[in-house]
Amino acid sequence: MRLRLLRPAVALLLPLAVLASACSTSSAADDRSDGPAGTSALVLRVGDQKGGYESLLRAAGELDHLPYRVTWSTFTSGPPLLEAVNAGAVDIGGVGNTPPVFAAGAGSKITVVGATHGDPAGEAILVPKDSVLRTPADLKGRSIAVAQGSSAHYQLIASLRKAGLRLSDVKVNLLQPADALAAFTSGKVDAWAVWDPYTSQVLQSGKGRILTDGRGVVNGLGFQVAAPAALADSKKAAAVGDFLDRLRRAQDWVFRHPEAWAKVWSKETGLPYEVALAAVKRSNGTRIAVALDPAAVASEQAIADTFAELRLIPRTFRFADFVDTRFNKNLPPSTTPARSYGKGTS
């Protein structure tokens, strides 16, 4: 596998504030709090990302009347958030389907406690609008930008395999989204494996098109991940359960109010409203809370085995050893179809 790094060549189209859970960069904390004041209040420390859980819960009214206090720490992406969970600095946070694999592969102290299933249409391999590439098989010998350890990283591997190609058949450029966007728009890479809202940003700008997406290739799962020490505390574990319930209700609210959420998301991240709404309808608003069942574990195990086989994580491991199913309740199976807004998604 050939790897090379590129420097940004053009001004970014997407505000740097927009940092999605699938990517892998350094962290930056911005602490805030919600809930009852007072030193005796139970505190749940939540790791978040810009335009993430805090914005979602606030917009849906789920931060009203909290029986405990929530302190928020903002991170640029999933991997550094999980580093904070491992260090015991954060009690719970949300990430995509691949960061837990890399964290668990490194032996981190993390426990997956919740799952969501969404439409993976936003997980895409993008090419310039006028590109000669028409199918994934055409990627052979081409340069592709992707963030290491991201959900897009696995989607790229899986899409290539489906087309009869190996990762070594392409030129992989390990770039974070900001640099990848610059490389893509300046023509320094032939394709970009990425996720929403970047997918919607490129499509809305007219700079590119989808060569292939994650439907039928990736599992579309996202996870809430907690610190084992927090789960060992009965009162804090109860707060984790309540927090997960609030997230589930907030996700239901988003599906019913996509325009309202897009306005909030746009304001929080700096995304143009049209891009935010397109991303909501394509993927962000399609998520439904699902059970951490054997199918979800097996799907993640397949991802872990793939990265271990390629020696992109240091060891093989049982993903089930990092899962706590106590909060499953009466949730639907992980294979439940994602919600859909029907035709007309831009």
Q: Per-residue pLDDT tens for 100-138? A: 999 999 999 999 999 999 999 999 999 999 999 999 999
- Tokens for 301? 């195990």
User: According to the model, what pLDDT value does residue 201 have?
Assistant: 94
pLDDT reported for residue 2: 39
The verdict on whether omega for the bond into residue 197 sits within 30 degrees of 0, i.e. cis, is yes
Identify the pLDDT of residue 10: 33
How far apart CA 106 and CA 95 sit, in angstroms, is 16
State the Cα–Cα distance between residues 218 and 194, nearest whole angstrom: 13
CA distance to 50, 133, 168, 169, 303, per residue, from 2 (Å) = 33, 20, 7, 9, 21
Residue 176's nearest CA partner among 194, 160, 201, 197 is 194
Task: Confirm if 222 and 115 have CB atoms less than 8 A apart.
Answer: yes
Which residue bears the tokens 């035709």? 343
Nearest to 185, CA basis, from 309, 6, 343, 5 = 6
Neighbours of 205 (CB within 10 A): 14
Give residue 55's identity as a one-letter amino acid code: S
pLDDT at 343: 57
- What per-residue confidence (pLDDT) applies to 310? 93
Pairing of strands 2-3, 171-174: parallel
Q: What is the radius of gyration, based on Cα positions, of the chain? A: 19
- Burial category of 210 from C-beta neighbours within 10 Å (exposed 0-12, middle 13-18, buried 19 and up): middle
d(CA 163, CA 204): 27
Q: Could you state, in order of their start, the residue ranges of all structural domains in the chain? A: 2-16+121-213, 32-119+220-322
pLDDT tens column, 11-59: 334 443 344 434 433 344 445 667 676 655 899 999 998 889 999 999 9
DSSP secondary structure letter of residue 297 = H
Domains 2-16+121-213 and 32-119+220-322 share a fold: yes
Q: Please give the CATH architecture assigned to the domain spanning 32-119+220-322.
A: 3-Layer(aba) Sandwich (3.40)
Q: Which CATH superfamily is domain 2-16+121-213 in?
A: Periplasmic binding protein-like II (3.40.190.10)
**pLDDT value of position 21:** 39
Residue numbers in the chain where pLDDT is lower than 70 = 1-33, 35, 37-40, 343-346
User: Strands 143-146 and 208-213: what pairing?
Assistant: unpaired
